[in-house]
């Protein structure tokens, strides 16, 4: 399998706080990688740097041979919109839109016609077993349903990489497992890689392998080798 996305020698500080101190990681096509480690170790910062949301102070992030850190902001946003999908712990759905409109949003932003966008979105909502809440607003769904809507929205653009930061953090075990099962099954079917930040071992157990971050340094067995 070829490396899809990798980072090397990442350093990132917030004021005097060093969040990343030489972190590195390599993600191959279609694999599900869990990033684990104690609170404050730099997991989210690593994910944000990998996804081109946050520029590292130094180090490189390479996606399919392109250096993300050397791209213009516009090119990076375009890449994020077309190649990446995102699922966070909460607060990612637009409250004024229905769940269906939320899922369709990335497609609409890419210029797809409303009808086509909503048809594709309905398919994904069915796969994630949330077609029943299509016409409700996010505030009118349960936490588990909301997360599955978010997963549908992350996958609707057929991304190459899905970034998920504690996607089950606000859910009970049963709903968390359901989200993980549906997310990883869908990602495996579409060939998307998943970069999953979690501190829960049972959630990480849905991955193919794990990378442990400690004090801003990551231990990526595959990468070191």
Partner 1 sequence: MVCIVLLMSIGHALLGLLEGGPRHGYDLKRAYDERFGQDRPLHYGQVYSTLSRLLKNGLVSEAGVEAGDGPERKRYAITDAGVTDVERWLGTPEKPEPYLQNTLYAKVVLALLSGRSATEVLDTQRAAHLRAMRDLTRRKVDGDLADQLICDFALFHLEADLRWLELTAARLDALAEEVAR
CB 60 within 8 A of CB 69: yes
Q: How many residues does the chain have?
A: 225
Binding site for ligand ATP (CB under 6 A): 14, 17, 19, 37, 39-45, 199
What is the distance between the alpha carbons of residues 195 and 141, in angstroms, rounded to a whole number? 26
- 133-162: burial string, b at 16+ Cβ within 10 Å, e else: bbeebbeebebbbbbbbbbbbbbbbebbbb
| Binding partner selected for residue 202 from Mg ion, ligand ATP, partner 1, none, CB under the kind-specific 5 to 8 Å limit | partner 1
Cα radius of gyration (the chain): 17
Binding site for partner 1 (CB under 8 A): 38, 181, 185, 200-202, 204-208, 210, 212, 214, 219, 221
Q: Which candidate, 64, 88, 92, places its Cα nearest to that of 163?
A: 88
| Binding partner selected for residue 204 from Mg ion, partner 1, ligand ATP, none, CB under the kind-specific 5 to 8 Å limit | partner 1
Find all residues with CB under 8 Å of 194, minimum gap 6, and list them: 31, 32, 33, 161, 162, 163, 164, 183, 184, 187, 207
User: Among residues 71 and 212, whose Cβ is nearest to partner 1?
Assistant: 212
Would you give the binding string for Mg ion spanning residues 30-69, x where CB under 5 A is met?
--------------x-------------------------
For residue 54, how far is the Cα from the chain centroid? 14
| Binding partner selected for residue 77 from Mg ion, ligand ATP, partner 1, none, CB under the kind-specific 5 to 8 Å limit | none
User: Among residues 35 and 103, whose Cβ is nearest to ligand ATP?
Assistant: 35
User: Among residues 69 and 136, whose Cβ is nearest to ligand ATP?
Assistant: 69
| Binding partner selected for residue 72 from partner 1, ligand ATP, Mg ion, none, CB under the kind-specific 5 to 8 Å limit | none
| Binding partner selected for residue 206 from Mg ion, partner 1, ligand ATP, none, CB under the kind-specific 5 to 8 Å limit | partner 1
């Amino acid at each position: 399998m070829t490396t899809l996305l990798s980072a090397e020698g990442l350093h990132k500080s917030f004021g005097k706080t060093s969040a990343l101190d030489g972190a590195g990681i390599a993600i191959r096509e279609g694999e599900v990688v869990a990033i684990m480690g104690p609170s404050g170790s730099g997991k989210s910062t690593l994910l944000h740097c990998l996804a081109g949301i946050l520029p590292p102070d130094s180090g490189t992030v390479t996606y399919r041979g392109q250096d993300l850190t050397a791209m213009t902001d516009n090119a990076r946003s375009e890449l994020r919109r077309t190649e990446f999908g995102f699922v966070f712990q909460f607060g990612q759905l637009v409250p004024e839109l229905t769940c269906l409109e939320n899922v369709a949003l990335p497609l609409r932003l890419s210029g797809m016609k409303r009808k086509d966008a909503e048809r594709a979105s309905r398919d994904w909502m069915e796969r994630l077993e949330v077609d029943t809440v299509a016409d409700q607003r996010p505030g009118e769904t349960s936490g588990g349903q909301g997360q599955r809507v978010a997963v549908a929205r992350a996958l609707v653009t057929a991304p190459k990489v899905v970034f998920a930061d504690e996607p089950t953090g606000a859910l009970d075990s049963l709903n968390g497992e359901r989200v993980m099962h549906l997310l990883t099954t869908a990602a495996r079917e579409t060939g998307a890689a998943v970069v999953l930040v979690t501190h829960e071992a049972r959630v990480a157990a849905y991955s193919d392998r794990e990378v442990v971050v400690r004090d801003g340094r990551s231990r990526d067995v595959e990468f070191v080798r």
